Amino acid sequence: MIINKVLFTAVLLLMVDWSFAEVEIRQTYILSIKDQQNLRIAINNNQSIKQHFETIVKNAEEILLTSPQPLVVINYEGLLDTDSLRKQSESCLKDMDRIALLLFAYYGSGSTKYRDHAIKYIIEWENTFLPTGNPINENKLEPLIHAYYVFRSFLSRDDCRGIDRWLLAMARKEIKNENIPNNNWRSKQIKTVGTIGYILNNQTFINFAKMHFRDYIDRALFDDGSSSDLHHRDALSYHVSGLRPLLVYGLIVDYFEPDSDFKPFEYLGLQSGSVEKSMDFVVPYATGQKEYRQWRNSKVKLDRERADAGITKYQPGTLYNPRASLEAFEMAWYFKKEYDIVLECLKEGGIEKPSWNFALISLMGT
């Protein structure tokens, strides 16, 4: 079986154009049936949201003509942006963005053609990709995991069993990975294992995520709002990227356990740190009151290698772009409406209001 997967991927790699491989994967969310209905109403009533959706549908229609490019192994974490294996993986991982667009098109229309094509992608990746327990790499599969939950009732029993076993293996391997540092690696593991736990109704995974979330907040987020990622990488971008999975995890917990006393956004750790305080830390940089020059004191060898390779965004002293925090603050707004003022600052300069991401966030749980 493994040999067949390797041969299949080898054929795919020969067929792919690697000339432009950098991948951007849209953030996805699990929307309830009611949320989906409210989104369709908003599309009809809000011109800005309608325009966003029209673009999504146009892209989704093009995706209907494409076929999946699943990988056996994701080569991403620890590799330079210029590495050929990473570029190959990034090209194939565009499938995750395609799944995201198909999911959005389904949310906004209910059309089965988008759902059915997304299911094809899900099944092909389940039949091909071998989980390794690397949360940085497997974090890229989030749109697939969300889409599986939304479309699960439309899959055959055999397909569900296969995908369930695949997700079980993914979560178990991440749990057994003893080389996960207490930084953005851990936050991505918490989100992935916790999400799979809720989807599969696996209490062991749910409990693991909650326990390690508390431990992460206790040891990696501090009273002044800074984080171990910030101190280690000297990069606000890594600080925010370590918080994003925790924000998504908070949304997942609220979706599956809306009445729970466990509130990830507000949870106060032993060092008086919290996700909320760490997002507050970013506020003056997001609003332009302060500037953050990144990478000058990074303790990580890979960051120096990236700079030495001439990659612009990793050069010491590079100014953090406030707009890079927009989606994180849109997610955080779900928990703290006072971030309205931050969003207004970030959306100045021609960004349409509301964004598609914010439209989804604002409709969740309504």
Q: Is the predicted pLDDT of residue 199 greater than 70, yes or no?
A: yes
First to last CA, the chain: 45
Torsion, CA 130, CA 134, CA 137, CA 142, rounded to 10:
80
User: Which token pair is 303?
Assistant: 């960051």
**Residue type at position 167:** L
What's the confidence (pLDDT) of residue 22? 53
* Average pLDDT, integer, range 194-215: 98
The greatest distance separating any two alpha carbons of the chain, rounded to the nearest whole angstrom, comes to: 56
14 pLDDT above the threshold of 50? no
- Residue range 305-325: mean pLDDT, rounded: 95
Tell me if the bond preceding 354 is cis, omega within 30° of 0: yes
pLDDT tens column, 135-191: 999 999 999 999 999 999 999 999 999 999 999 999 999 999 999 999 999 999 999
- Rounded-to-integer distance, Cα 38 and Cα 41, Å: 5
Confidence of residue 23 (pLDDT cuts 50, 70, 90): confident
The predicted pLDDT at position 184 comes to 94
- Copy the structure tokens of residue 309: 């390779």
If DSSP codes are grouped into helix, strand and coil, which group holds residue 47? helix
pLDDT confidence of residue 15: 35
Tokens representing residue 127 in the block: 């039949």
Q: What is the mean pLDDT of residues 296-316?
A: 94
What residue segments make up the domains of the chain, in order of their start? 1-15+46-179, 182-366
Distant-in-sequence, close-in-space partners of 145: CB < 8 Å, separation ≥ 6? 167, 192, 195, 196, 199
Cα-based distances in Å from 137 to 91, 131, 201, 236: 14, 9, 24, 21
Digit-coded pLDDT (tens) for 24-70:
999 999 999 999 999 999 999 999 999 999 999 999 999 999 999 99
